[in-house]
Structure 1
């Protein structure tokens, strides 16, 4: 249950372009989440993690933040609702400083909670 397998990683260029072109956005500092339904995905949720080179010049810092984002997602993905639709998700780090894992985890909980709430509301309407 608490895994993050290769099939859950969003790699296909076509899907990534569609996500950034059509995706809707939800934010909780320092994270921003883009999401869009894509029915061709092999699993219910595929995830992309990005940390900008603009603010973190050293790859070591970017990799650290990406590891923290992936771990926070891995432990909190149970908040995502089970649904027939399949979604591509992108988590973008927007802060200019390296925040602790705990702050990133709190932001991830907030984002996934907002997304789950939006999903439930869209199913009832």
Structure 2
């Protein structure tokens, strides 16, 4: 079984790529997450996680939510197609902290949505 880690190359960090991601306005919503995505020619998927400060004032809360989203993605990233690669950003939209199971299900819905795009 392959290692289920999030490699450095899978993190979306480039400001240009993030700006391009938001300028294209391709998104999918599955409560409590919104997924901004873009089809790329990269050799791997890249992703980032955002939790707005206006919804969660305390950094401790934002960091916990981001950890949960990254963990949910890490456990399910093997289900993404390898034919088409995406830049994606998960944006947390709920004003409450939700259980990991709800976040896990939302990530699962987004991954199945991405798989249906170019199957």
Q: What TM-score does the superposition give when structure 1 sets the normalisation length?
A: 0.89
Matches within 5 A, 1:7-26: 7-26=9-28
Measured after TM superposition, the shift of residue 87 of structure 1 is: 1.7
Where does structure 2 lack aligned partners over 5 or more consecutive residues?
A: none
Where does structure 1 lack aligned partners over 5 or more consecutive residues?
A: 121-125
Q: Which residue of the partner structure matches residue 99 of structure 2?
A: 100
1:3 is paired with a residue whose SS is coil
Could you list the structure 1 runs, at least 4 aligned residues long, displaced by more than 6 angstroms after superposition.
none
Aligned-partner Cα distance in 2 for 1:5–1:95: 27
Q: What TM-score does the superposition give when structure 2 sets the normalisation length?
A: 0.93
Count of equivalent residues? 117
CA shift digits 1:68-91 (9 cap, x unpaired):
0000000011121111x4321100
Measured after TM superposition, the shift of residue 23 of structure 1 is: 3.9
CA shift digits 1:33-90 (9 cap, x unpaired):
1111232x4x42100100000110000000000000000000011121111x432110
Is contact 1:15-1:38 (8 Å) kept?
no
Is contact 1:51-1:92 (8 Å) kept?
yes
